[in-house]
Structure 1
Amino acid sequence: VILLTIFILKISKCLTRKFGICASISTGTQQQHGNFYEFRTYSVKPAKMTDFIKLTTENIHLRTAHSELLGYWTVEIGGLNQVFHIWKYDSYAQRAAVRTALAQNQEWQGKYISRMLPMLDKQHNEVTYLVPWCQIGKPPKKGTYELVTFQMKPGGPSVWGPSFEAAVNTHANAGYATLIGIFHSEYGFLNQVHALWQYESPDNRATGRHRIHEDARVVAAVRQSVSYLMSQENKLLIPTSFSPLK
Structure 2
Amino acid sequence: MFLSRHLVRELSRHSATPIPALRPLSTVSSLLNSRHKSPSLGDITPESVSSYKANLAAYRQKLKAASAAAAAEAAQAASAAGTVKSLLYGSPAAQKEEIEMEQSYGKVLARGKYVHEIVLHKVKPERVAEYVEMIGEEYPKIAEDKDNNVHLVGSWKVEIGEADTFVHIWEYNGYAGYHQTLNRLSTQKSYQKYATTLPNLITSRTHDLMQEFSFWPTSPPRSLGGIFELRTYTLHPGNLLEWEQHWRRGLEARKNVMEGVGAWFTQVGSLNTVHHLWQFGDLRERQLAREASWSKKGWSETVHKTVPLIGKMQSRILVPLPWSPVR
- 1:214 shift after superposition: 5.6
Are 1:79 and 2:162 counterparts?
yes
What is the CA–CA distance in structure 1 between the aligned matches of 2:251 and 2:311, rounded to whole Å? 17
Structure with more of its chain in strand, by fraction: 1
Q: Kindly indicate whether the alpha-carbon contact (under 8 Å) linking 2:253 and 2:296 is maintained by their aligned counterparts in 1.
A: no
Are 1:181 and 2:262 counterparts?
yes
Q: Kindly indicate whether the alpha-carbon contact (under 8 Å) linking 1:74 and 1:238 is maintained by their aligned counterparts in 2.
A: yes
**Structure 1 equivalent of residue 140 of structure 2:** 61
Q: Per the alignment, in what secondary structure is the counterpart of residue 104 of structure 1?
A: coil
**Structure 2 equivalent of residue 43 of structure 1:** 122
Q: Kindly indicate whether the alpha-carbon contact (under 8 Å) linking 1:30 and 1:158 is maintained by their aligned counterparts in 2.
A: no
> What per-residue deviation string (whole Å, max 9, x for no partner) do you get for residues 109-139 of structure 1?
23x3333331011110101101122212356
Q: How does 1:90-129 map to 2 (within 5 A)?
A: 90-110=173-193, 112-129=194-211
What is the CA–CA distance in structure 1 between the aligned matches of 2:310 and 2:247, rounded to whole Å? 10
Q: Alignment RMSD, CA only?
A: 2.2
Q: Per the alignment, in what secondary structure is the counterpart of residue 145 of structure 1?
A: strand
How many residue pairs align between the two structures?
Answer: 216
**Structure 2 equivalent of residue 14 of structure 1:** none
Q: Kindly indicate whether the alpha-carbon contact (under 8 Å) linking 1:68 and 1:88 is maintained by their aligned counterparts in 2.
A: yes
Q: Kindly indicate whether the alpha-carbon contact (under 8 Å) linking 2:227 and 2:320 is maintained by their aligned counterparts in 1.
A: yes
- 1:212 shift after superposition: 3.7
Q: Kindly indicate whether the alpha-carbon contact (under 8 Å) linking 1:137 and 1:178 is maintained by their aligned counterparts in 2.
A: no
What is the CA–CA distance in structure 1 between the aligned matches of 2:161 and 2:190, rounded to whole Å? 34
- 1:185 shift after superposition: 0.9
Q: Kindly indicate whether the alpha-carbon contact (under 8 Å) linking 1:72 and 1:86 is maintained by their aligned counterparts in 2.
A: yes
The percentage of counterpart residues that share the same residue type is: 21
Q: Kindly indicate whether the alpha-carbon contact (under 8 Å) linking 1:130 and 1:183 is maintained by their aligned counterparts in 2.
A: yes
**Structure 2 equivalent of residue 230 of structure 1:** 311
Q: Which moved more, 1:51-60 or 1:74-83?
A: 51-60
Q: Kindly indicate whether the alpha-carbon contact (under 8 Å) linking 2:230 and 2:317 is maintained by their aligned counterparts in 1.
A: yes
Partner amino acid for 1:74? K
What is the CA–CA distance in structure 1 between the aligned matches of 2:112 and 2:197, rounded to whole Å? 37
Distance change (3 Å), C-alpha of 1:115 and 1:163:
same
Q: Kindly indicate whether the alpha-carbon contact (under 8 Å) linking 2:115 and 2:211 is maintained by their aligned counterparts in 1.
A: yes
Return the TM-score normalized by structure 2: 0.61
> What per-residue deviation string (whole Å, max 9, x for no partner) do you get for residues 176-213 of structure 1?
x2011111110111111111111112221123234445
In structure 1, the gaps of 5 or more residues are 1-28
Distance change (3 Å), C-alpha of 1:43 and 1:243:
same
Partner amino acid for 1:162? Q
In structure 2, the gaps of 5 or more residues are 1-106
Q: Kindly indicate whether the alpha-carbon contact (under 8 Å) linking 2:240 and 2:272 is maintained by their aligned counterparts in 1.
A: no
What is the CA–CA distance in structure 1 between the aligned matches of 2:293 and 2:113, rounded to whole Å? 35
Are 1:195 and 2:267 counterparts?
no
**Structure 2 equivalent of residue 159 of structure 1:** 242
What is the CA–CA distance in structure 2 between the aligned matches of 1:89 and 1:216, rounded to whole Å? 36
Return the TM-score normalized by structure 1: 0.79
- 1:78 shift after superposition: 1.2
Q: Per the alignment, in what secondary structure is the counterpart of residue 313 of structure 2?
A: strand
Q: Per the alignment, in what secondary structure is the counterpart of residue 132 of structure 1?
A: coil
Structure with more of its chain in helix, by fraction: 2
Q: Kindly indicate whether the alpha-carbon contact (under 8 Å) linking 2:253 and 2:297 is maintained by their aligned counterparts in 1.
A: no
Q: Kindly indicate whether the alpha-carbon contact (under 8 Å) linking 2:158 and 2:319 is maintained by their aligned counterparts in 1.
A: yes
Partner amino acid for 1:87? W
Q: Kindly indicate whether the alpha-carbon contact (under 8 Å) linking 2:116 and 2:172 is maintained by their aligned counterparts in 1.
A: yes
